[in-house]
Amino acid sequence: MDRWCLIRFMGSISLFVLLLPEGCKAGVQHVGTIYPGFQGSQMTWINLNGLFLISNNSNFAFGFSTTQDVTQFLLVVVHMGSSKVIWSANRGSPVSYSDKFIFGGDGKVSLQKGEAVVWTADTGGKRVSAIEMQDSGNLVLLGNGGSVLWQSFSHPTDTLISNQDFVDGMKLVSDPNSNKLTHILEIKSGDMMLSAGFQTPQPYWSIQKERRMTIDKGGGKPAVASLSGNSWKFYDGNKVFLSQFIFSDSTDANGTWIAVLGNDGFISFYNLDDGGSDSQTKIPSDPCSRPEPCDAHYVCSGNNVCQCPSGLSNRLNCQTEVVSSCDGSNGSTELVSAGDRLNYFALGFVPPSSITDLEGCKSACHGNCSCLAFFFHNSSGNCFLFSDIGSFQNSNAGSSFVAYIKVSSDGGSGSNAGGDGSGEKSFPIVVIIVIGTLIVICGLLYMAFRYHRKKKKMLESPPNTSEDDNFLETLSGMPIRFSYRDLQTATNNFSVKLGQGGFGSVYQGALPDGTQLAVKKLEGMGQGKKEFRAEVSIIGSIHHHHLVRIKGFCAEGTHRLLAYEFMANGSLDKWIFKRNKEEFLLDWETRFNIAVGTAKGLAYLHEDCDVKIIHCDIKPENVLLDGQFLAKVSDFGLAKLMNREQSHVFTTLRGTRGYLAPEWITNYAISEKSDVYSYGMLLLEIIGGRKNFDPTESSEKSHFPSYAFKMMEEGKLKEILDSKLRLDNDDDRVSTSIKVALWCIQEDMNLRPSMTKVVHMLEGLSPVPLPPTSSPLGSRLYSSFFKSTSEEGTSSGPSDCNSDAYLSAVRLSGPR
Ligand SMILES: *[C@@H]1O[C@H](CO)[C@@H](O)[C@H](O)[C@H]1NC(C)=O
Ligand SMILES: *[C@@H]1O[C@H](CO)[C@@H](O)[C@H](O)[C@H]1NC(C)=O
Ligand SMILES: *[C@@H]1O[C@H](CO)[C@@H](O)[C@H](O)[C@H]1NC(C)=O
Ligand SMILES: *[C@@H]1O[C@H](CO)[C@@H](O)[C@H](O)[C@H]1NC(C)=O
Ligand SMILES: *[C@@H]1O[C@H](CO)[C@@H](O)[C@H](O)[C@H]1NC(C)=O
């Protein structure tokens, strides 16, 4: 069994590297209800993927969820099975990992961003006594006596869920689309409408005009809408069932569905019981009847075909800017006909501004600075003015409109501009300017080309300068971005393999300038380029004498590579676990320096970085030695780059299990003290020159930590030291190191010293008392651990982890 599986078993997702705020407590998940005096940030519950409150039925959870930008978080209610967010508190103003959700002792509930409050539940000043995550997905704030003060079902965002009543006065608002336009759904005066969220909203759908309704009772005015099974049911103010909209042929009457108002303007329906699959039925049915299936003033036809309307196509090929003259700018405007067989989504829903003739309609728009466009219906004389404009529709004969839009008449270079006398006079000047510009551009291009070639030769800079990928280089001291080819060349097409780890294989390489590299080809990367770069920028910004330095990285297509400084003497395990020890023995001096160096590297990660970094995978394979046997910790921060699906890569790691702190199994409270534990195990191995579990040793000695505790009790500390080492009898650094190691592997993590303390103790700056003997639980846990290790060998896949035998082993060995 190993920890990656355990994490999955515990239902949390990305606990690979923990970046904990001050205090370093990993959060505990609450079930059903939380009470006043509760607070924390995304980091507090990172081991739970940010979700601190889960419903009794485990279907819904309340907590922090990441946005597109992985460093920004929303406070949400999420459906666990489908990962669909059904409600969020701070939509549009995400917070960072350290911003706190606070349910104070004073009964106030709020989300902070720094000092500011970005969200608070309006309970009319009443004190909240409990927050419940109900089985329905409703987040409820209760007052004294259990009265409901506030509930998320009454404050929907862009999603409605089965059994949530949508009533008069509520609104769904979509996320903004790329033009920052939102869409709005509301029930108002007996109708339910969708509108484009312009300054003056423009309706584009109404339930009264929806032809797909199944009417039960005609004439009623809907006041309540509720999803139930495969339909959306509408009731009047007295809860009399009026009609329904059936969006799926699924027959499960108890199915849980959500209706989501997307930023495309459609309402879509998703089946949560089926992993959030889309029913494919949309509201509205015609894609062109949405506000912006195309850009403003383009014509939508058929299935989202966008065309420039005939009237505007000769005007700079539609690149004309629609203008408003209300802002006091004094450019003159003119009205341009866009065409005469057009329609507009809002026309069926709004009354005409006036009834007049074409000239009257023109002058109404001309004389009204906020009018951007008008539509005129010749046979009825209806004139519609609009102050914002979305896309047009092709008219289906009959009700055809002429459309005019307002454009700037001086900057516009209309169809009649150009080709007059003055143009000919300026011809020679134009030619000279054009030729001059061309020469300058060619010169610049040539210089850029030479510069580029030179840089490429030196391999100092990535050749691919597309996109926004180069932001890292703009920051000094940041890792260089290599192209895949660069690294292929540098490693001679990955020919010399240095090793194989859980994250992938490592190859030797060299830059053209002679710099030696170790290139790690990451396997099974679960993240996109952007997240990868974000992580690399964090990892790459960490510099310390005892941490392996990242020289550069590559994110190209599916390739993810990291280039590290080359460490001539490889990893520590090769030295302390040498089969033939006479071959080369690391002397005590070197071993001690390696132990101190590793401790310093870890202390830096834990205490001196901007964000606390917990390594999670301290073991001899991750301590590298340079030419002078200076120890450097490697692979810090890497685990965060992997995703859950790829986590089985870790299960093939040799030896990792032996370094795992017991709290990984017994509870959720993981902190940097878990690294201290792993460090203690590593230190013991450095001292003993052997693996902590070695079945080839006698039974007394096979579990080295137990043996070490026993020898300490019996006062025979020297027995623990590698028998092949010769050293002064009065080198008290040996007993100091052993005692430090035994302090580090204390089962109770509060007894373990911090890494800084470890450094002080090793360096003799701080006294080292005799450590207490570990409780029997630890050895029991460990012996079962090691048994499973030796039985399974090193090839346990994820399937082993999910077996019943595995689960019961965890339950039996845990303290609760
Ligand atoms: C969760 O279950 C407990 C025990 O059955 C019950 O007392 C509590 O009210 C439930 N909480 C919610 C939010 O349903
Ligand atoms: C739906 O739920 C009701 C009550 O909770 C139950 O009696 C019924 O059997 C369920 N139907 C299905 C198809 O699960
Ligand atoms: C706009 O132009 C008119 C006349 O051309 C002038 O009287 C007015 O002051 C101008 N307004 C601004 C804001 O420049
Ligand atoms: C518009 O209506 C007027 C009178 O109703 C008619 O004379 C004219 O031909 C119509 N124009 C178009 C383009 O249909
Ligand atoms: C100007 O046009 C807008 C719509 O574009 C309309 O709401 C407003 O009433 C109009 N103002 C006047 C004075 O006609």
Q: Distance of CA 51 to CAs 42, 54, 155, 614, Å? A: 8, 7, 20, 20
- Rounded to an integer, what distance in angstroms lies between the CA atom of residue 95 and that of residue 125? 25
Mutate to test the pocket of ligand 5, among 322, 371, 404, 406 (most ligand atoms within 8 A of CB): 371
Beta strands in 175-223 (DSSP E): 183-188, 191-196, 202-206, 214-215
For ligand 2, atom 12, the nearest C-alpha belongs to: 254
pTM of the model: 0.56
Query: Do residues 204 and 349 make contact, with C-beta atoms less than 8 angstroms apart?
Result: yes
Same fold, 160-285 and 573-723+731-788: no
pLDDT of residue 719: 84
Q: Which of 230, 250, 254 to mutate to test the pocket of ligand 2 (most atoms within 8 A of CB)?
A: 254
Give me the CATH code for the 4-155 domain, please.
2.90.10.10
Of the two residues 534 and 176, the one the predictor is more confident about is 176
Residues constituting the chain: 816
Residues 520-540: what's their mean pLDDT? Answer: 74
Confidence of residue 399 (pLDDT cuts 50, 70, 90): low
Say what the pLDDT of residue 17 is: 34
Ligand number nearest CA of 367 is 5
Q: What is the pLDDT of residues 568-594, one digit of tens each?
A: 888 898 888 876 655 677 888 899 999
Instruction: Measure 325 CA to ligand 5 centroid, in angstroms.
Output: 13
- Is any atom of ligand 1 closer than 6 Å to the C-beta of 56? yes
Residue of 416, 412, 419 whose CA lies nearest to 335? 412
Ligand nearest to the CA of 254: 2
8 A C-beta contact, residue 747 and residue 665: no
Q: Percentage of residues in the chain with pLDDT exceeding 70?
A: 77
Which pLDDT belongs to residue 780? Answer: 41
Residue whose Cα lies nearest atom 3 of ligand 2: it is 254
Least confident of 266-270, 765-769, 770-774: 770-774
Decide which of 672 and 10 is more confident: 672
Closest by CA position to 536, among listed 520, 554, 548, 519? 554
Burial degree of 513 (CB within 10 A; 0-12, 13-18, 19+) = exposed
Whole-number pLDDT of residue 15? 34
Give first-to-last CA distance, the chain, whole Å: 19
Q: How far apart are CA 205 and CA 214, in angstroms?
A: 17
Give the CA angle between residues 163, 165, 166 to the nearest 5°: 135
Position 439, amino acid = I
- Residue whose Cα lies nearest atom 7 of ligand 3: it is 330
- Ligand 5 nearest atom to the CA of residue 387, by list position: 5
Question: Which residue's C-alpha comes closest to atom 1 of ligand 2?
Answer: 254
CATH of 573-723+731-788, picked from 1.10.510.10, 3.30.930.10, 1.10.287.4070, 3.40.50.300, is 1.10.510.10
Whether residue 652 contacts residue 641, with contact meaning beta carbons closer than 8 Å, is answered with no
pLDDT at 162 exceeding the cut of 50: yes
Q: Which overall architecture, per CATH, does domain 466-565 show?
A: 2-Layer Sandwich (3.30)
| pLDDT of 412 strictly over 50 | no
287 Cβ below 6 A of ligand 1? no
Q: State pLDDT tens for residues 431-483.
A: 777 777 888 787 778 777 776 665 555 444 444 444 444 444 434 456 788 88
Q: Which atom of ligand 1 is nearest to the CA of 55?
A: 13
Question: Does the pLDDT value for residue 776 go beyond 50?
Answer: no
User: Among this protein's residues, is 732 annotated catalytic?
Assistant: no
Q: Which atom of ligand 1 is nearest to the CA of 135?
A: 14
Closest approach atom of ligand 5 to CA 369:
1
| Predicted local confidence at residue 454, as pLDDT | 58
Q: Where are the domains of the chain?
A: 4-155, 160-285, 299-419, 466-565, 573-723+731-788
Q: Topology of 160-285 in CATH?
A: Agglutinin, subunit A (2.90.10)
CB atoms within 10 A of CB 614: 26
Q: Which of 2, 617, 635, 722 is catalytic?
A: 617
Nearest ligand by distance to the CA of 229: 2
How confident is the model over 318-346, as pLDDT tens digits? 766 666 667 666 567 888 888 888 889 99
Spatial strand order in the sheet of 559-565: 480-481, 550-556, 559-565, 516-522, 504-510, 497-501
Q: Which amino acid is at 69?
A: D
Is 716 annotated in some ligand binding site? no
